[in-house]
């Protein structure tokens, strides 16, 4: 990966309030009119996008790397994303066109879905591969660009439908418009993008076998066990793992010494899934955490005593970040191999930042808490209590938590309580 000073400087332009489209050029890929695209609508999903982007770089992807973000994504994460992705493009969570607004008021949970559809507006690319932020690339997948729109792999839960976590598409404003129109007219049978895309590209299951991507391009890690003989036979050729479902890699805690996720609290994962989870975390530890540190170092010049600098100083013999920076993460094909972490000091040492009282939660990244100690790394969403004024401003700015507390069901609950 080529990272230039100027790339980092350009990244500053991503700070809010950004323009509709911001271009950041970090690397010269061999094919510049094609791209891998992902989406992150908040700082937590950004952690997934970062690992995905890094996994594509590790596998020497020859196309541009693009991440679509929404206004909720914090300034810090914008800068960090720009260190991994060639382009960080802000899109709106809901398009401002009134007909969409009206249609979707009845189905607020589709907001995030609509955002995925924005990938068709990337018309400066002739062809793209979309990957969910909860996917991990294990080997080079450039050959996907030999496929045409609309190619995707079967969904493990209903194989006559495709899974919309990995797909090949051709950006086109016309298609984008038709998709939105389809959403307006028909909604989505699963209330999200997968249902919508399946009914729009409804001939996928029958028309052209070339549009069926092999399952190795979208292996659902949590369902692999349901057909373990096949996993035994074909598992070694898996190219993309997809952590679909409610529990994502970032919901686990990770022990950097043993190189494995800690299972307690997050339910027991099957053995294959554990290897993939460990791989995800290995990339996170070695390649993503150091990005936070380098950003903080830059900030230190401007404002001495900033958070992560102290973290580093407080960890003289653990030096997680320093080790991570010098250790080049090469091929990650060693699925399941244990990663012995060099011996560290025997006493658990917790990273503590400047402006928070000593506690296990140390390094913070605006909307996420990164707790880093010798024995445990974890990513947690900050629970922010907003004042009624802040809540109102959020709504007025269109920053509505459709999946969470502003979900239609929650609002209905509130109304019911009020009307009782
Ligand atoms: O709050 C959110 C939720 C989702 N996403 C993005 O949307 C993708 C899809 O969401 P995800 O949580 O990964 O859904 P899955 O668990 O994978 O569930 C399935 O169902 C989804 C809804 O139909 C499809 O988008 C997925 O591709 C399909 O695998 C994510 O990867 C992100 O890229 C966000 O950025 N923020
Ligand atoms: Mn997914």
Distance CA 68, CA 194 (A): 18
State the closest ligand 1 atom to the C-alpha of 132, by its place in the atom list counted from 1: 31
Helix (H) or strand (E) holding 112: helix 111-117
Question: How far, in Å, is the centroid of ligand 1 from the Cα of 277?
Answer: 17
Give pLDDT, residue 70.
Answer: 93
Q: Which of 196, 244, 400 to mutate to test the pocket of ligand 1 (most atoms within 8 A of CB)?
A: 244
* For the CA of 167, the nearest ligand: 1
Q: Which of 74, 81, 132 to mutate to test the pocket of ligand 1 (most atoms within 8 A of CB)?
A: 132
For ligand 1, atom 22, the nearest C-alpha belongs to: 192
For ligand 1, atom 14, the nearest C-alpha belongs to: 244
Task: Give the residues surrounding ligand 1 with Cβ less than 6 Å away.
Answer: 38-42, 45, 112, 116, 132-134, 163-165, 190, 192-194, 244-245, 403
For ligand 1, atom 23, the nearest C-alpha belongs to: 194
Distance CA 386, CA 281 (A): 31
Question: How far, in Å, is the centroid of ligand 2 from the Cα of 48?
Answer: 10
Q: Which of 69, 165, 166 to mutate to test the pocket of ligand 1 (most atoms within 8 A of CB)?
A: 165
Distance CA 299, CA 303 (A): 6
Give pLDDT, residue 267.
Answer: 57
Q: Which two tokens stand for residue 376?
A: 């445990």
122 touches 35 (CB < 8 A):
yes
ipTM of the complex: 0.98
* For the CA of 49, the nearest ligand: 1
Give pLDDT, residue 270.
Answer: 74
State the closest ligand 1 atom to the C-alpha of 134, by its place in the atom list counted from 1: 31
For ligand 1, atom 32, the nearest C-alpha belongs to: 133
State the closest ligand 1 atom to the C-alpha of 38, by its place in the atom list counted from 1: 33
Q: Name the residues around ion ligand 2, CB cutoff 5 A.
A: 132, 134, 165, 244
Q: Which two tokens stand for residue 327?
A: 């250790």
Q: What does each C-alpha distance from 221 to 232, 255, 283, 349 come to in angstroms? A: 13, 20, 17, 33
Question: How far, in Å, is the centroid of ligand 2 from the Cα of 353?
Answer: 33
* For the CA of 39, the nearest ligand: 1
* For the CA of 247, the nearest ligand: 1
Residue 226 in 3-state DSSP?
helix
Question: How far, in Å, is the centroid of ligand 1 from the Cα of 195?
Answer: 12
100 touches 29 (CB < 8 A):
no
Other CB atoms within a 10 A radius of the CB of residue 65 amount to 26
Question: How far, in Å, is the centroid of ligand 1 from the Cα of 124?
Answer: 24
Buried b (16+ CB within 10 A) or exposed e, 258-297: ebbbeeeeeeebbebbbbbbbbbbbbbbbbbbbbbbbbbe
Residue with tokens 């070695």, as numbered in its chain = 286
329 touches 84 (CB < 8 A):
no
Residue 64 in 3-state DSSP?
strand
Buried b (16+ CB within 10 A) or exposed e, 397-411: eeebebeeebeeeee
Residue with tokens 């990005």, as numbered in its chain = 291
For ligand 1, atom 17, the nearest C-alpha belongs to: 244
Question: How far, in Å, is the centroid of ligand 2 from the Cα of 276?
Answer: 15
Question: How far, in Å, is the centroid of ligand 1 from the Cα of 74?
Answer: 20
Question: How far, in Å, is the centroid of ligand 1 from the Cα of 146?
Answer: 25
273 touches 244 (CB < 8 A):
no
Helix axes 193-200, 173-186, angle to 10 degrees: 110
Taking 70 as the pLDDT cut, the residues of the chain under it are 1-29, 94-111, 264-269, 295-366, 384-385, 394-411, 413-414, 417-418, 420
Q: What is the pLDDT of residues 47-65, one digit of tens each?
A: 999 999 999 999 999 999 9
Distance CA 215, CA 213 (A): 6
Give pLDDT, residue 68.
Answer: 97
Question: How far, in Å, is the centroid of ligand 2 from the Cα of 42?
Answer: 14
């Amino acid at each position: 990966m080529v990272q230039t000073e100027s790339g980092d400087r350009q990244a500053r332009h991503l700070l809010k309030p950004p323009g509709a489209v911001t271009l950041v050029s970090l690397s010269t890929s061999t094919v510049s009119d094609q791209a891998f695209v992902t989406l992150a609508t908040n700082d937590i999903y950004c952690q997934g996008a970062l690992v995905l982007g890094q996994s594509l770089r590790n596998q020497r992807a020859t196309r541009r790397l693009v991440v679509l973000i929404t206004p909720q994504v914090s300034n810090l994460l914008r800068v960090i994303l720009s260190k991994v992705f060639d382009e960080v493009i802000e899109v709106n969570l809901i398009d401002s066109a009134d007909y969409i607004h009206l249609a979707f008021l009845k189905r607020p949970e589709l907001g995030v879905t609509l955002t995925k559809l924005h990938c068709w507006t990337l018309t400066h690319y002739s062809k793209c591969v979309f990957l969910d932020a909860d996917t991990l690339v294990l080997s080079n997948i450039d050959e996907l660009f030999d496929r045409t729109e609309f190619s995707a792999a079967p969904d493990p839960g209903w194989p006559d439908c495709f899974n919309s976590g990995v797909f090949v598409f051709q950006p086109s404003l016309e298609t984008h418009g038709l998709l939105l129109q389809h959403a307006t007219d028909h909604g989505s049978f699963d209330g999200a993008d997968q249902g919508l895309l399946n009914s729009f590209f409804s001939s996928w299951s029958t028309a052209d076998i070339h549009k069926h991507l092999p399952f190795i391009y979208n292996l659902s890690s949590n369902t692999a066990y349901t057909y373990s003989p096949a996993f035994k036979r074909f598992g070694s050729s898996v190219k993309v793992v997809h952590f679909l479902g409610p529990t994502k890699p970032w919901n686990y805690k990770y022990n950097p010494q043993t190189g494995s996720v800690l299972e307690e609290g997050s339910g027991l994962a099957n053995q294959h899934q554990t290897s993939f989870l460990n791989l995800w975390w290995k990339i996170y530890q070695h390649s993503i955490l150091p990005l936070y540190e380098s950003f903080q170092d830059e900030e230190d010049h401007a404002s001495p005593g900033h958070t992560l600098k102290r973290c580093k100083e407080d960890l003289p013999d653990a030096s997680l970040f320093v080790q991570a920076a010098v250790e080049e993460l090469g091929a990650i094909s060693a699925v399941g191999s244990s990663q012995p972490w060099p011996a560290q000091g025997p006493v658990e040492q917790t990273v503590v930042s400047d402006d928070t009282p000593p506690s296990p939660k140390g390094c913070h990244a605006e909307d996420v808490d990164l707790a880093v100690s010798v024995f445990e790394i974890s990513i947690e969403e900050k629970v922010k209590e907003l004042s009624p004024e802040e809540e109102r401003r959020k709504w007025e700015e269109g920053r509505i938590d459709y999946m969470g507390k502003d979900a239609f069901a929650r609002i209905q609950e509130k109304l019911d309580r009020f009307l009782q």
